[in-house]
């Protein structure tokens, strides 16, 4: 845990409800390295926060081995397996959830194993009123990819349904905090041999229900209209929610990381 150097607010929504939710989930990092018995952090290859600095990663092999980036075959399957092994419950649709940084999402989409589900063309964004008319509608009806997920899977088009892959429903968020770690990535641009240096890691938070408790006071989430509209020249809308968030079970959360770097 001492390896984690600093955190920055990535967007202006520093005090928004999703950021409070994310910060509560991040408390699971204190559990240490996640495994089949406890929640915590996860680095590519299953390394600990000291092992990423020494011996670190080697991406200098022929063909390009991006093993310091979160991969499907080596990392995603391991995270899901460990969550199931420690009896983390799934949501009612049978899937876990993942809130992930856009860079984390990009690394997954670059993975050849992830690209397998994009081999077949879809018809673009599903009409939420008639999802059964789309060949990839199964993604939005709670099932797995039947014809692939060829459409864009990040940002607004995948909200609020997310998209399904390997037992997880993924949601992209631009409100994820940024953490720097001392890491050695041999063969990466800007790194000297296997010497450790500060590098940012994009994060994806995997969790199940009951990981966080939410207490709502007064009315539920609502949109309020400001009456000061200058004779209807404009409209001011305010999103309002009075609520409290509290971690209930840190073992129901895994904080996964994917290092951001390039190869020469």
Does one domain contain both 15 and 55? yes
Q: What's the pLDDT at 149? A: 46
CB atoms within 10 A of CB 90: 16
Q: What's the pLDDT at 16? A: 53
Question: Average pLDDT in the 147-155 region?
Answer: 48
Considering only CA atoms, which of 114, 87, 132, 213 is closest in space to residue 170? 114
Q: How far is it, in rounded angstroms, from Cα 106 to Cα 108? A: 5
Q: CB–CB of 88/251 below 8 Å? A: yes
Does one domain contain both 154 and 104? yes
Does one domain contain both 114 and 236? no
pTM above 0.85, yes or no: no
* Residue 165 domain boundaries: 4-211+250-259
Does one domain contain both 135 and 225? no
Q: CB–CB of 258/41 below 8 Å? A: no
Does one domain contain both 93 and 222? no
Residue 152 domain-assigned (yes or no): yes
Summary mean pLDDT of the chain: 77
Does one domain contain both 139 and 38? yes
pLDDT at residue 46 tops 60 = yes
Q: What's the pLDDT at 90? A: 93
3-state SS string for the chain: CCCEEEEECCCCCCCCHHHHHHHHHHHHHHHCECCCCCCEEECHHHCCCCCCCCCCEECCCCCCCCCCCCCHHHHHHHHHHHHHHCCCCCCCCCCEEEEECHHHHHHHHHCHHHHHHHCCCCCCCCCCCCHHHCCCHHHCCCCCCCCCCCCCCCCHHHCCCCEEECCEEEEECCCCCEEEEEECEECCCCCCCCCCEEEEEEEEEEECCCCEEEEECCCCCEEEEECCCCCCCCCEEEEECCEEEEECCHHHEEEEEEECCCCC
For the stretch 83-140, pLDDT in tens is 999 999 999 888 899 998 889 988 888 888 887 765 554 444 555 565 555 555 554 4
pLDDT at residue 14 tops 50 = no
Residue 176 domain-assigned (yes or no): yes
Report the number of distinct structural domains present in the chain.
Answer: 2
């Amino acid at each position: 845990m001492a390896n984690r150097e600093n955190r920055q607010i990535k967007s202006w929504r520093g005090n928004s409800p999703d950021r409070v939710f994310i910060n509560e989930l991040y408390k699971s990092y204190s559990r240490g390295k996640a495994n089949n018995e406890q929640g915590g952090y996860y680095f590519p290859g299953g390394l600990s926060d000291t092992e990423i600095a020494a011996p670190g990663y080697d991406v200098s092999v022929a063909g390009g081995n991006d093993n310091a980036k979160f991969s499907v075959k080596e990392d995603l399957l391991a995270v899901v397996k460990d969550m199931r092994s420690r009896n983390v419950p799934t949501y009612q649709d049978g899937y876990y959830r993942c809130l992930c940084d856009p860079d984390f999402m990009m690394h997954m989409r670059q993975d050849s194993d992830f690209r397998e589900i994009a081999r077949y063309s879809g018809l673009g964004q599903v009409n939420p009123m008639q999802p059964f008319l789309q060949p990839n509608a199964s993604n939005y009806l709670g099932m797995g990819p039947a014809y692939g997920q060829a459409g864009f899977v990040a940002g607004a088009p995948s909200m609020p349904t997310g998209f399904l892959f390997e037992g997880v429903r993924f949601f992209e968020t631009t409100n994820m905090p940024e953490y720097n770690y001392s890491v050695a990535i041999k063969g990466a641009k800007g790194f000297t041999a296997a010497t450790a240096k500060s590098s940012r890691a994009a994060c994806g938070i995997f969790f199940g229900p009951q990981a966080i408790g939410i207490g709502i006071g007064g009315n539920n989430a609502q949109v309020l209209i400001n009456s000061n509209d200058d004779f209807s020249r404009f409209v001011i809308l305010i999103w309002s929610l009075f609520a409290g968030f509290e971690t209930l079970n840190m073992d129901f959360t895994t904080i996964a990381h994917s290092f951001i770097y390039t190869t020469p």
